[in-house]
Amino acid sequence: MAGEGFTILHASDFQLDTPLGGLRWIPDAIEEAVRSAPEDAALRVFDLAIEHNVDMLALTGNLLCPKRSSARSLSFILRQFTRMHEHGIPVAWATGVSDPLEAWPSSVRWPDSSIRFDRGAVDRRLMRLGGVDVEVLGCGGDAAGKIHPTWFHGLSRNEHQLVVGGGTVETFNKLEAAPLWLLGGRSYRAHLVDGNADVFYAGLTQGRCLADSGSRGAQLIHVNEQTVCEQLDCAAIGYERISIDAKSIRSVYDLELLLLEYATTNNWPSDRVTLVEWDINCSQSASFFHNSNMEFMRWKKEFARHAMTSATSVFTIGVNVHRGQHVAQLTEGDNLLSDYLFALESLRENGWSEIELKGASGLEFATNDWARVDEDLNGLRTLDDAAHLGELLLGRSDVSVHSLTDNDRESEAA
């Protein structure tokens, strides 16, 4: 392929129906940015495709769940596909677990230049990319989000091939169908090599919590005599967890000074909001900083309302002070318990001071009691938060906490 080549923008897992999480409080200044972050990150993908004048946009699954999404999100995707058609950029979309074609409204009319690979069978399309005839093999993942290499046995016929798949694949499994595999279904971007095959995962375009810290975005893949991948950050909001060692923290003033000094000397991205959770490890600190202290919780909420620097949009979503305790020893239950206690305290402040939790057998007697409660929206919202946190603390089987695996960290580092 000397002297010839083509460029593909690869993105995955827009998850437009999944809002951002990990936020104890949302500052008024960024409430709209938090709400629109998944769509804003996805929009950057389409903007980058036009900016780089790519030969193809490859989308590998989980754009949104049509059954859960709003009409706005469905319309957004259709507009962007139409926009790519108007700029002469074909879209190869392999569906994932959440966005199979059968779930989309029958009224949706996709542009002629969009190629949709769904679960159930591998499809083959011959495309002209940058002057090169390329055979594109595509399929959606199975119900578990997996792509099986055996599906592709005996399908490749052209000199140049690539696979677009809406799921994950086990490497070191003889990926012989194509030298280039573009896949989805993983939170973190990765480049793996299996024999002569390059396997690329785009990862999320927008993180949803602290577990999704690090850059998020798309991959610009140049294919010529060699395959070169350039990472493009698309996230509208970034998450970071920062650990700081301090000798002594005696007052809120000391703590604020420490955090603001770090914030003003750090090089934060200027084109996006950054949400930071701080872990302060010090040998000496006042008992005031215990997470069950209501005054400390109130300070943290007030501190989180304002940007940390005047030039950038950096906001605090949590401050944890530990005396001689390594951050790795902390448990998710510490944060849950502190949030739960604060939610209950806010509940009392909003007038819900006399609540009796009744079993199902007593509901018919409780109806009149609840009917007499004034509709205090703040109280209702706090009650809902407290109930959800209570469920997490009680260890409901359908609630899971995501943590980074060693493979995830290695992929992120790559």
Higher pLDDT, 26 or 163: 163
- The predicted pLDDT at position 167 comes to 95
Whether the predicted pLDDT of 290 surpasses 60: yes
Closest by alpha carbon to 118, among 147, 77, 76, 78? 147
Question: Which amino acid, one-letter code, is at 298?
Answer: R
Whether the predicted pLDDT of 337 surpasses 80: no
Share of the chain above pLDDT 90, in %: 47
- The predicted pLDDT at position 398 comes to 42
Q: What is the mean pLDDT of the chain?
A: 82
| Token couple for 379 | 């109280």
Give the residue-averaged pLDDT of 257-263. 92
Whether the predicted pLDDT of 114 surpasses 90: yes
Higher pLDDT, 136 or 343: 136
The 10s digit of each residue's pLDDT in 36-81 is 999 999 999 999 999 999 999 999 999 999 998 889 999 999 999 9
Closest by alpha carbon to 158, among 181, 138, 139, 137? 137
Whether the predicted pLDDT of 330 surpasses 70: no
Closest by alpha carbon to 231, among 45, 1, 73, 80? 45
Whether the predicted pLDDT of 18 surpasses 50: yes
- Contact criterion met (CB below 8 Å) for 249 and 321: yes
The gap from C-alpha 288 to its chain's centroid, in whole angstroms, comes to 34
Residue whose tokens read 């809002």: 19
Distance between CA atoms of residues 253 and 283, nearest Å: 17
* Across 81-95, 194-208, 220-234, 270-284, least confident range: 270-284
Give the residue-averaged pLDDT of 141-158. 85
DSSP-assigned beta bridge partners for residue 240: 276
Q: 6-233: which CATH topology?
A: Purple Acid Phosphatase; chain A, domain 2 (3.60.21)
Whether the predicted pLDDT of 120 surpasses 60: yes
Angle CA 261–266–267, to nearest 5? 150
- The predicted pLDDT at position 266 comes to 87
Whether the predicted pLDDT of 333 surpasses 70: no
Closest by alpha carbon to 315, among 323, 305, 325? 305
- The predicted pLDDT at position 359 comes to 46
Q: Over the range 352-362, which residues count as b (16 or more CB within 10 Å of their CB) and which as e?
A: beeeeeeeeee
Residues of the chain with CATH 3.60.21.10: 6-233
| Token couple for 301 | 């909420």
Record the pTM.
0.78
Please provide residue 404's backbone torsions phi and psi, each rounded to the nearest 5 degrees.
-75, 130
Give the residue-averaged pLDDT of 80-109. 95
- The predicted pLDDT at position 3 comes to 52
- Contact criterion met (CB below 8 Å) for 26 and 149: no
Whether the predicted pLDDT of 355 surpasses 60: no
| Token couple for 292 | 């069950």
3-state secondary structure of 375: coil
| Top-ranked range on mean pLDDT: pick from 16-30, 45-59, 338-352, 389-403 | 45-59
